Structure 1
């Protein structure tokens, strides 16, 4: 491990000695637009130059997303340092600078996601396609003043493309023969009348899969997705502008399971559970990471609807801004069916089964008064309210173990034991905020802000243990006698009662301050402080209650441009101290279930340095890099959940992870690359692009389960395209993960075993052909 990290460090030093570039600039501009170096962001809820904002911000343009076929936020995170977004069983999770909220549907994510100012509270929205986007801003560190309490680690600020004043049309088609990926996208925009214009965009996409299921003789993931967006912008006068947006999505993953079994037999220990039974029956099984699966069928169905209304009213020199949002999401996921082909059943089945259901409705409203930004003293003041209704269902089938024998005489070893747990939660957020910027002398800017938030949550849950049918997703659970349920509650990890507390209210004042000074033209230094807070809450499939987490964050940065803005160098040093960090680990029970254990880590520290550089070497050549060193570790975490191996020895054990690194926190990560434009004829341009992403190893579970460790890796992406200078059309070839690195976004101990693991493979090497046009 140490040698690998040293090699990464040596490679990094070499890249920094020759690498000059800035990921945000390289991603937002090409060499053709080298003179357009003023990227505008809304990191502080008003339009400002990126180089003037006292925040570490990464910017990825919509054009870049389309050119590189970056499908969603998870794929975006594989290109950005210190950003990790992973798809999980119970939930998805977002991590920034080593801070995130874990795989638990009861959590609000510590990295908040906003689309046109509307907050998306549910983690599974990270699976939605990034299409018809103007830009994505990655705001690092607490952003609680302008983006609310849940942006305690950072925020993803997404801006969609807006209706145009003239008729414009765009279309693209992509196909990857390596795994059957396809994508058809189109948009049309223009005026409907003098004061009304509209934009409509649609994307249909899918994939046949890259993991072969030997049991079912098909491939997965088998994706069939459809998304659409409609926007209307009404400008009845120079003082009033309103934009109404509707987003709809239908995501489907059907037909097969692409999870793989590894370490059967386990390394250094005797096989147990399903692994032991399989080895006893077959002698050997396929336990290599080789894109082959033997699991039973799974599925994922997500339906999403969102309405956003943005109103801007000019009151003299001041602007009154209102952002209204409504979301409805429904998700049903069978995340895993762990099984071994041909294994003799305990009852009539031999696999573990789970179904996770989620229903959410969210209404939000923000009102903000904004003064002109060019005055000696500028301010913003406003308020925010949201309300969410959340229903969660967690259903298990413990079919790979003889769990029924533990409840004799009520059940027996042949009984197909299962459990159902339901949780309902209502939450409301009410907050007020204000920020002021003063410019006492030329080049000096002093900023201060304060936000107060009150979050109220009410929740109830109920759970039952019983027996299921052979087709568990179609047959209801038959409750067992209460005495049997009490005997099975511990082995299955099922809490039978309600939450011990069913209502909680958390409040917090969150101040922030920054100072920035222009040393010379195009060279600015800044220092900032922010206090962050995220409310406590209720676990999803357990009766766990967790308290609020808090952070004190400091950042020191330099933003600079040199040689006529041909060389850009941005540096940020950060140090964030978290208290009572909300943490969850996925652990297995003796009956073969997976549960998310939730608690608060007493203290955790995230500190490091980020360097972004960009150099326009010539009109046709741009070099860029984006590198992060991160030290994110628990300062005190004495009540951490144990690994399955530890629980096998001491079922009620806890472990001390004080001084250990947090999950999803690699020491080094980053990307380097080049963009080249070479004339072929007077009108045709050959466009070439290359980027290399690298990371050191990291854990994917908070309990440091060895089976959840992802070793360090590198991934090389290439692109070659040809088209006219005006961009009317383009034909491209896109190659991803050219070096075919084997990685997994989700790793956990296999239910029903100890020492054997299950992983969800990331995409291997792929090659796609893309055709696009616009006029």
Structure 2
């Protein structure tokens, strides 16, 4: 289940219109409302935002500081159609134009994240946002200009580089009424006009989703520390190089919120899963915790050498991360008195390099070529309980009489260790041509990629010591559970795009664009043994997209607008389906490729999260208007309508009553002859509404050298019915208010804010039915009485103080 995490701290204010609307940005209070001042690198060359033939959202580093963006997921409140979610404090998910992605599915993301032009996992890039130069959100398929393809878009994050001319920096501190704090800053130290250093750091803490575990009497809590140092070398005007090192440590304990009456899952045992809990209780009941730790070291090198008519560029990086996850796999406590403990350790190394050459001419014919390489290695180790429950009667520690003087335990104690070596690499080569004559610009190119992956998974099963199991071997394995034919895969896709841009006049650009992207399929990690190949391995995903749009200005550029319409078709969209009940061949009570065949009507063995392909279509329109009617008032409105749906796809589902639609009505059984049930679907690709809107405003009241101000941000997402979750989501209206005072020359600013001023509490994502655990007794499902949910964070007050020098 994808659970949305609402932003952790103060929400940023409305005047960041650049992020709320393509084509508009206000550099600072009092500046003219003009997009001509905004320079972006969306096309891998510096261009004016209005000239870029694609939908691009921009937020500068100054705006990130001013408006308390401590986590990249906060920007979803400013960009309609953009959803940034986090289910557990670790698996960051970006949804754009209705296309979503779950990091646990093991495929490339739907939206790529680039950190200083190097592809980086969102878990690292999103965790600590500080001392940033600029963030750009590129909408639509990305298959040409950067090394890795993506079907829905890319987010580029560029950190600040050192200033060679003067000592300068900033310091900012924020505190909130819900135990949130964020202290960050950065400073540039020029040694001379050729060598300079910039150092920045952040310390951040918050309650994440504000959930309290009523069983453990503990709250969700996040703590993050990070430091970054960038050394710049500029021996001449033609050459510059930057070496960056970043350290990151994040430690999150995030409990899964539940709603429902609770239950006594065992028929003759009084133990309850927990008390009745509603949406406003922000309560969890798991008997075990959910702790996620991320330790990352990241080194980045970039240089540019201007040869006059062309430029040679290089970017390379080495990342080492270690993710450690400890959790209870029974978040609804459907088995009271039992912790389904799981421990996952994922160390991995990623090495990336790209060499590019491109011409510098603006008019006439130009272009460039590039070579890109990335490789990831590491071995994930999973240790978890996989106990099998016999009957839903007495409890997990009970003994069941099976004959005179002899009884068997109600719980078959089984432990599983899964070892997953990871070895993937990608080579890609690209070439593009660009021709500009007067108002007309045509650019296009192709990228050829070689994507290789070697995926194996070794499983070892351990049985507990008990006389009833004396005849069984204490250990089975390690056993390779991925068929040999599915272990190695190579994809060689051809991606690219073509854009045509025409400047009708100085205040109006129109464009048309085509893009093709590809994502390689994946082989499931720790899948149940003995299941069918379609549930183990997915094929590659192809997508083609067409977009037309315009960007313009009116009233001497005091009013700016942008409109884009798009259509996209997916061949084999890569989706993830969570909590799917399955049956598998069994050997000694455990799934086995060589075990006993599945018997009709037998109880399911458990639930798993499966990847699967399904054809899909996406179409929509995005529009924005931003205005500065007078010098002291900004107003911006942006909206997005996207219809992203499967095209009558056959997908894994829970279909307990055999109706052909997702449900958990009655006993957990499989409909059909497969390992799982399948349902026909023309449903949503993501659990998001089709329409979304943001509106923002700022009023300034200059008094001499000082400027009091009031800012407001309103976001609206209508309600919708989810077939996947069988749930009617309510509409959401979030209002955030900022009041503050800015000092002379904007050298300091103090702000008080209220986030979710209306204190609206809405379920933003939910499971399909209650959290359950099957038993080996037909019809004997253990029901927790709770749905797993995520809810918008409650109202929060806070204050921020910012200094610049």
Alpha-carbon distance between aligned partners in 1 of 2:786 and 2:548, rounded to the nearest angstrom: 44
Aligned to 2:650, the other structure's residue is in SS state coil
Where does residue 138 of structure 2 map in the other structure? 139
Match of 1:758 among 788, 794, 798: 788
- The structure-2 alpha-carbon separation of the partners of 1:496 and 1:263, relative to structure 1 and needing over 3 Å to count, comes to farther
Determine if contact 1:297/1:337 at 8 Å carries over to the other structure.
no
Give, in angstroms, the shift of residue 328 of structure 1.
1.1
Where does residue 455 of structure 2 map in the other structure? 459
Alpha-carbon distance between aligned partners in 2 of 1:258 and 1:434, rounded to the nearest angstrom: 48
Structure 1, residues 318-373: CA drift from partner, whole Å, max 9, x if none? 100001111111111235454678x985xxx4233333332221111111111114
Where does residue 593 of structure 2 map in the other structure? none
Aligned to 2:557, the other structure's residue is in SS state coil
Q: Please give the TM-score of this superposition, normalised by the length of structure 2.
A: 0.83
Alpha-carbon distance between aligned partners in 2 of 1:330 and 1:686, rounded to the nearest angstrom: 46
Alpha-carbon distance between aligned partners in 1 of 2:491 and 2:688, rounded to the nearest angstrom: 28
Alpha-carbon distance between aligned partners in 1 of 2:23 and 2:441, rounded to the nearest angstrom: 24
Give, in angstroms, the shift of residue 60 of structure 1.
1.7
Where does residue 545 of structure 2 map in the other structure? 553
Give, in angstroms, the shift of residue 283 of structure 1.
10
Alpha-carbon distance between aligned partners in 2 of 1:91 and 1:170, rounded to the nearest angstrom: 31
Match of 1:706 among 726, 745, 764: 726
Where does residue 286 of structure 1 map in the other structure? 276
1:154 and 2:139 are equivalent in the alignment = no
- The structure-2 alpha-carbon separation of the partners of 1:169 and 1:587, relative to structure 1 and needing over 3 Å to count, comes to same
1:113 and 2:117 are equivalent in the alignment = no
1:669 and 2:731 are equivalent in the alignment = no
Alpha-carbon distance between aligned partners in 2 of 1:27 and 1:480, rounded to the nearest angstrom: 72
Alpha-carbon distance between aligned partners in 2 of 1:283 and 1:305, rounded to the nearest angstrom: 41
Alpha-carbon distance between aligned partners in 2 of 1:354 and 1:402, rounded to the nearest angstrom: 21
Aligned to 2:278, the other structure's residue is in SS state coil
Where does residue 541 of structure 1 map in the other structure? 526
1:320 and 2:312 are equivalent in the alignment = yes
1:576 and 2:606 are equivalent in the alignment = no
Alpha-carbon distance between aligned partners in 1 of 2:24 and 2:365, rounded to the nearest angstrom: 34
Determine if contact 2:142/2:516 at 8 Å carries over to the other structure.
no
Give, in angstroms, the shift of residue 50 of structure 1.
0.6
1:600 and 2:621 are equivalent in the alignment = no
1:648 and 2:668 are equivalent in the alignment = yes
Alpha-carbon distance between aligned partners in 1 of 2:375 and 2:506, rounded to the nearest angstrom: 46
Alpha-carbon distance between aligned partners in 2 of 1:545 and 1:510, rounded to the nearest angstrom: 23
Aligned to 1:147, the other structure's residue is in SS state coil
Structure 1, residues 104-141: CA drift from partner, whole Å, max 9, x if none? 25122121000111111x34225412111111111000
- The structure-2 alpha-carbon separation of the partners of 1:396 and 1:741, relative to structure 1 and needing over 3 Å to count, comes to farther
- The structure-2 alpha-carbon separation of the partners of 1:694 and 1:97, relative to structure 1 and needing over 3 Å to count, comes to same
- The structure-2 alpha-carbon separation of the partners of 1:151 and 1:87, relative to structure 1 and needing over 3 Å to count, comes to same
Aligned to 1:108, the other structure's residue is in SS state coil
Determine if contact 1:275/1:756 at 8 Å carries over to the other structure.
no
Alpha-carbon distance between aligned partners in 2 of 1:64 and 1:479, rounded to the nearest angstrom: 66
Give, in angstroms, the shift of residue 637 of structure 1.
1.1
Give, in angstroms, the shift of residue 22 of structure 1.
5.8
Alpha-carbon distance between aligned partners in 1 of 2:93 and 2:265, rounded to the nearest angstrom: 29
Alpha-carbon distance between aligned partners in 2 of 1:243 and 1:278, rounded to the nearest angstrom: 68
Where does residue 635 of structure 2 map in the other structure? 623
Alpha-carbon distance between aligned partners in 1 of 2:521 and 2:18, rounded to the nearest angstrom: 43
Alpha-carbon distance between aligned partners in 2 of 1:50 and 1:278, rounded to the nearest angstrom: 67
Higher mean displacement: 200-209 or 552-561: 200-209
Alpha-carbon distance between aligned partners in 1 of 2:166 and 2:724, rounded to the nearest angstrom: 55
- The structure-2 alpha-carbon separation of the partners of 1:323 and 1:283, relative to structure 1 and needing over 3 Å to count, comes to closer
Determine if contact 2:549/2:565 at 8 Å carries over to the other structure.
yes
Match of 2:766 among 747, 750, 765: 747
Alpha-carbon distance between aligned partners in 1 of 2:285 and 2:632, rounded to the nearest angstrom: 49
Determine if contact 1:170/1:187 at 8 Å carries over to the other structure.
yes
Where does residue 473 of structure 1 map in the other structure? none
- The structure-2 alpha-carbon separation of the partners of 1:278 and 1:318, relative to structure 1 and needing over 3 Å to count, comes to farther
1:513 and 2:498 are equivalent in the alignment = yes
Aligned to 1:726, the other structure's residue is in SS state helix
Alpha-carbon distance between aligned partners in 2 of 1:279 and 1:288, rounded to the nearest angstrom: 25
- The structure-2 alpha-carbon separation of the partners of 1:622 and 1:547, relative to structure 1 and needing over 3 Å to count, comes to same
Alpha-carbon distance between aligned partners in 2 of 1:611 and 1:285, rounded to the nearest angstrom: 46
Pairing of 1:434-513 with structure 2 (within 5 A): 434-440=431-437, 442-467=438-463, 481=472, 496=481, 500-513=485-498
Alpha-carbon distance between aligned partners in 1 of 2:335 and 2:306, rounded to the nearest angstrom: 72
| Structure with a larger share of its residues in helix | 1
Match of 1:351 among 330, 335, 339: 339
Structure 1, residues 599-657: CA drift from partner, whole Å, max 9, x if none? 111x1111100001100111010100121001000013113333461782426443334
Where does residue 704 of structure 2 map in the other structure? 682
Alpha-carbon distance between aligned partners in 2 of 1:654 and 1:637, rounded to the nearest angstrom: 13
Alpha-carbon distance between aligned partners in 2 of 1:645 and 1:654, rounded to the nearest angstrom: 12
Q: Please give the TM-score of this superposition, normalised by the length of structure 1.
A: 0.86
Give, in angstroms, the shift of residue 567 of structure 1.
0.6
Where does residue 8 of structure 1 map in the other structure? none
Give, in angstroms, the shift of residue 594 of structure 1.
4.8
Match of 1:420 among 417, 424, 432: 417
Match of 1:382 among 360, 365, 370: 370
Alpha-carbon distance between aligned partners in 2 of 1:495 and 1:31, rounded to the nearest angstrom: 62
Where does residue 587 of structure 1 map in the other structure? 579
Give, in angstroms, the shift of residue 591 of structure 1.
7.5
Where does residue 4 of structure 1 map in the other structure? none
Match of 1:691 among 713, 716, 722: 713
Give, in angstroms, the shift of residue 317 of structure 1.
1.7
**Gaps spanning 5+ residues in structure 2: where?**
1-16, 529-535, 582-602, 655-661, 774-781
Aligned to 2:314, the other structure's residue is in SS state strand
Give, in angstroms, the shift of residue 732 of structure 1.
0.7
The count of corresponding residues between Structure 1 and Structure 2 is 720
Where does residue 124 of structure 2 map in the other structure? 125
Alpha-carbon distance between aligned partners in 1 of 2:476 and 2:725, rounded to the nearest angstrom: 29
Where does residue 245 of structure 1 map in the other structure? 244
Structure 1, residues 427-485: CA drift from partner, whole Å, max 9, x if none? 11111111222124x2111111111111011111012333579xxxxxxxx99946997
Aligned to 2:43, the other structure's residue is in SS state coil
Alpha-carbon distance between aligned partners in 2 of 1:92 and 1:208, rounded to the nearest angstrom: 17
- The structure-2 alpha-carbon separation of the partners of 1:756 and 1:510, relative to structure 1 and needing over 3 Å to count, comes to same
Give, in angstroms, the shift of residue 207 of structure 1.
1.9
Alpha-carbon distance between aligned partners in 2 of 1:745 and 1:325, rounded to the nearest angstrom: 36
Alpha-carbon distance between aligned partners in 2 of 1:261 and 1:235, rounded to the nearest angstrom: 55
Aligned to 2:742, the other structure's residue is in SS state strand
Aligned to 1:125, the other structure's residue is in SS state helix
- The structure-2 alpha-carbon separation of the partners of 1:482 and 1:523, relative to structure 1 and needing over 3 Å to count, comes to farther
1:530 and 2:515 are equivalent in the alignment = yes
1:660 and 2:683 are equivalent in the alignment = yes
RMSD: 3.2
Higher mean displacement: 656-665 or 224-233: 656-665
Where does residue 778 of structure 2 map in the other structure? none
